[in-house]
Each structure stands twice: as C-alpha cells, then as structure tokens.
C-alpha cells in the first residue's frame, strides 16, 4: 500500500505550517515534533508536489503474481431448494463474452444436494465444465460448508475471475471466500470488460451514481465480483453441453459451528424483477386519487406497481417495490413511469427494459433520455384518460366474446400480447 514519508530534518516550523495548510482534507498536522500524517489522508499527493522533496510517496514492493497460473472465468451456480436462480444463466452468457478476449474456458461451480438436473442446465447454458459438489451437508445453505467447497474449487481449478450473482446466497458467500484468498471483490457491478492480460474491469456506479468507477485487481487472483439479476442476458445455447465434473466435499465430517435444524418457507412475495409489465410511480404522483389510478393502470395492463426511491423513504411503498441501484434491477417488456424524474440510480435499474413509456410534466426530465416514448403533461389529466380508454377497450372485447360465445380473455394490454405497436397506440391516446 502506498504511503507518505516526511523528512522531518528538512522541516522548519514555517514550512510545516505551510504544508499543513496545503492539505485539502486536513490530514497533515504540524506540531512541535514536526509534521505528521493523520487518518484523513486520501493520497491526493498535493503535499508531495508542493513540498519540494520534504514529503515523498513510498510504495510497497510486492512480488508480481503469475497470471498465467490462473485461467478461465468461473460462475457460481446459484442453487437453492431445488431451484437454479436465473442469474446463473445470465452470468454464463456474460462469461462467454469475456473469454472471447482471452480464449480461456468458462467454468461453473454448483453446490447443493440432488443437483443432477441443475448441473445439466448449467452445462447446456454456456459452461465448458461444471464442477459439482453434491453432498447432504450442502442440502441447505450454510455459509461455512459452502465456503469450504467454493474455496476448494478455486484452489484446484484456479479461475482468473469469479462472477457471483448478487442474491442473498451470493452476497453471503462471495465476501467470505474472497477474504480467504486475500483478494478484492466489487459488489453490484453494472458492466464488465476483460483485458488481454486477464484483468477484469469491474464497472459500477460510485458517489451516488454520479461516477461510473472502473475497478481492477491487477496483482491478486482470483478477481471477484457480484452482479445483480437482470443486468446481463443469457447466451444462446452452445451446440454441445459442457462437461460435468463431480467433486468431493473437502474436510469430511468437519464440525461446523452452524447447524440447520429446520427450514420454514416464507410466504411468496411479489418480485418486480420478474414482471413483464411495470407501472412505476414517483414524486410526481402527489395525491391518493392518482395513486389509485396508477394501480388500476397496472391491473389493466396485467402488470405490477413499482416506485422510485423517494416513495420508499416516505413510507408509502415497501423497499421490495423500489426500482434502482438501491432497489431492484428490472427488465420488463413494458415499463410506464409516472412522475419519475429519472436520476442516474433509477436509470441504471431500467436499462434492460424493452420498451419505456415516460410521463412527466417537466420536458427536461432525465427520464426522457431512457424512454422510447415520451409524454409531457399533467398526470392528473392523463391518467384518467388512459385508464378510461383501456377500460372501454376491455369492455368492448368482453362484449364481443360474449356475443361469440367465447371464453373471457385477459385484459387487452396483458403482457403476452402487448407489442410495441400497442404501446405506440396507447401513448397516442394519452397525448
């Protein structure tokens, strides 16, 4: 780690005071003993430039890692309670893109019990080799045995990069395993790039979403990152499935400090990440009547109601309905935003949406940069018109089905049949 060295013998009281005043973070302290560096130092190196050689930067010399010993991109197959999380296939798709730069293989590590079907899905989803730890100890997720199996895979296979889904399982497991290898981990990446020297460029928002930070781990392996669901897309299935490699659980009958006595299933909750149609409301929806109309619009479209962060902070919605970097990342076929300004954090959460219709009274709202169809207008006037037209259409179609003796159909704008042409038509109605 870099640090600062101060040649105290070259200091005078006047110079010490002047250099202390130079630091924008107040991290240099001048006293009778000379000049010292406090914990607030951000290594901006301004004092080094202004000191005339009194303050110099010192860097730790570390042996360079042999990157040739570490090959391939590995994906943690997120498997729990007999279900393979879809983020696994998305990460495999991204891994196949990354290895085009290096020519390395794509690996997957699968842990659990009764994993035969899941292993076949992963092998057909883009992994060249699937390393399977199937053991009764892994029937339920417990971080200690899972971390042992994960670390055993890394020691034996030595992947250069490891991609983990930002699920409850992945977020618990990845930091523990990364710490065992004394390597870095970047959380909630929104983009990934690979360099020819196998350095993984991990891109994520920083400073409240105002900066897209590019993070690399140049002298440590493996490189860990977590990625949210619905950020990437699954790849087309390769012509031949990958090889399935059974692995032995390390540390047979090792006593663990945590024992799973019983698992109780929680009631199923609405997950906006899975919705094909979403109606998202923001601060522009200012009264209860408009909120009810927004909920009715979501119902008529066969979708779900979501929100931006301010409505969660105001206690109007639960956090599970929030879209954005601090909420859920979504990838619906249709997203209608009502009264949402479209800050960077929200825009990053909807970048995978196929069609975005934005309604806002401010013609300069940032949300219009992310929208395919933009409507500038007063929500209190637009919402009743749109809801009324959809109700009228549904009633007309219901009358037609009754006259023809056919079974009742779903709402006219349900997700299965809501094409972009239909979106354009509805936006024209509202305008």
Q: Which domains does the chain have, with CATH numbers?
A: 3-58 (3.30.70.20), 69-247 (3.40.50.620), 272-430 (3.40.50.1220)
* Rounded-to-integer distance, Cα 179 and Cα 183, Å: 6
* Rounded-to-integer distance, Cα 387 and Cα 92, Å: 41
* Rounded-to-integer distance, Cα 250 and Cα 245, Å: 15
Q: What is the pLDDT of residue 405?
A: 60
* Rounded-to-integer distance, Cα 260 and Cα 429, Å: 56
The residue assigned the tokens 């005043």 is: 21
Global pTM value:
0.75
Q: What is the pLDDT of residue 406?
A: 56
* Rounded-to-integer distance, Cα 47 and Cα 273, Å: 48
Q: What is the pLDDT along the chain (431 residues), one digit of tens a residue?
A: 568 999 999 998 889 999 999 999 999 999 877 899 998 898 899 999 999 999 999 876 666 789 999 999 999 999 998 899 999 999 999 999 999 999 999 999 999 999 999 999 999 999 999 999 999 989 999 999 999 999 999 999 999 999 999 999 999 999 999 999 999 999 999 899 999 999 999 999 887 667 789 999 999 999 999 999 989 988 876 678 999 999 999 876 677 878 888 888 877 777 898 899 999 999 999 889 999 999 999 999 999 999 999 999 999 999 899 998 888 889 999 999 999 999 888 988 898 899 999 999 999 999 999 999 999 999 888 899 889 988 888 887 776 766 666 554 444 444 444 444 444 444 444 44
Alpha carbon 264 to chain centroid, angstroms: 27
Could you tell me which residues are beta bridge partners of residue 189? Answer: 227
- Residue 271's φ and ψ, nearest 5 degrees, are -120, 105
Instruction: Say whether 39 sits in a helix, a strand or coil.
Output: coil
Instruction: Say whether 11 sits in a helix, a strand or coil.
Output: coil
- Residue 163's φ and ψ, nearest 5 degrees, are -105, 130
| Strands 83-84, 79-80: pairing kind | antiparallel
| DSSP one-letter code for 274 | G
* Rounded-to-integer distance, Cα 368 and Cα 372, Å: 8
Q: What is the pLDDT of residue 122?
A: 96
Q: Please check whether residue 49 is in contact with residue 31, taking contact to mean a CB–CB distance below 8 angstroms.
A: no
Q: For the chain, give percent helix, strand, coil, nearest 5.
A: 35, 25, 40
298 C-beta neighbours (distance < 10 Å), count: 20
Q: Please check whether residue 383 is in contact with residue 293, taking contact to mean a CB–CB distance below 8 angstroms.
A: yes
Which of 356, 383, 352, 145 is closest to 228 using CA atoms?
A: 352
Count of all residues that appear for the chain in the document: 431
Q: What is the pLDDT of residue 409?
A: 47
Q: What is the pLDDT of residue 402?
A: 67
Q: Please check whether residue 284 is in contact with residue 338, taking contact to mean a CB–CB distance below 8 angstroms.
A: yes
Which of 42, 47, 57 is closest to 18 using CA atoms?
A: 47
Give helix 379-403 / helix 288-300 axis angle, nearest 10°.
30
| DSSP one-letter code for 235 | P
């Amino acid at each position: 780690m870099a640090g600062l060295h101060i040649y105290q013998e070259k200091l005078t009281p006047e110079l010490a005071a002047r250099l202390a005043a130079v630091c924008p973070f107040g991290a240099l302290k001048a006293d009778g003993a000379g000049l010292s560096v406090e914990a607030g130092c951000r290594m901006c190196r301004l004092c080094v430039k202004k000191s005339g050689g009194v303050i110099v930067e010192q860097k730790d010399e570390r042996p360079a890692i042999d990157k040739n010993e570490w090959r391939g991109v590995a994906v943690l197959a997120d498997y729990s309670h007999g279900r393979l999380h879809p983020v696994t296939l998305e990460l495999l798709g991204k891994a196949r893109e990354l290895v085009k730069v290096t020519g390395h293989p794509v690996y997957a590590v699968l842990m659990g019990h009764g994993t035969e079907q899941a292993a076949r899905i992963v092998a057909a989803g883009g992994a060249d080799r699937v390393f399977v730890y199937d053991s009764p100890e892994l029937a339920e997720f417990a971080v200690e045995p899972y971390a042992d199996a994960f670390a055993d895979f890394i020691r034996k296979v030595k992947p250069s990069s490891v991609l983990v889904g930002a699920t409850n399982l992945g977020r618990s497991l990845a930091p523990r395993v990364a710490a065992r290898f004394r390597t870095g981990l970047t959380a909630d990446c929104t983009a990934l790039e690979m360099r020819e020297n196998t350095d993984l460029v991990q891109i994520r928002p920083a400073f409240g979403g105002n900066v897209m930070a590019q993070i690399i781990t140049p002298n440590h392996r493996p490189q860990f990152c977590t990625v949210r669901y619905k950020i990437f897309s699954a790849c087309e299935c390769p012509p031949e499935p990958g090889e399935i490699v059974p692995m032995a659980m390390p540390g047979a009958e090792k006593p663990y400090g945590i024992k799973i006595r019983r698992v109780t299933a929680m009631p199923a909750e609405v997950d906006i990440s899975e919705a094909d149609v979403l109606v998202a409301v923001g601060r522009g929806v200012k009264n209860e009547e408009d909120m009810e109309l927004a909920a009715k619009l979501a119902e008529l479209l066969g979708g779900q109601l979501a929100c931006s962060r301010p409505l969660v902070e105001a206690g109007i919605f639960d956090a599970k309905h929030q879209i954005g970097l601090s909420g859920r990342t979504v990838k619906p076929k249709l997203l209608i935003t009502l009264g949402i300004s479209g800050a960077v954090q929200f825009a990053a959460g909807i970048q995978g949406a196929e069609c975005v219709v934005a309604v806002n009274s401010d013609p300069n709202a940032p949300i219009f940069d992310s929208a395919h169809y933009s409507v500038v207008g007063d929500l209190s006037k637009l919402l009743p018109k749109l809801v009324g037209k959809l109700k009228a259409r549904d009633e007309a179609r219901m009358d037609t089905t009754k006259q023809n003796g056919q079974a009742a159909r779903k709402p006219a704008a349900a997700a299965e049949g809501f094409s972009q042409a239909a979106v354009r038509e509805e936006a024209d109605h509202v305008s």
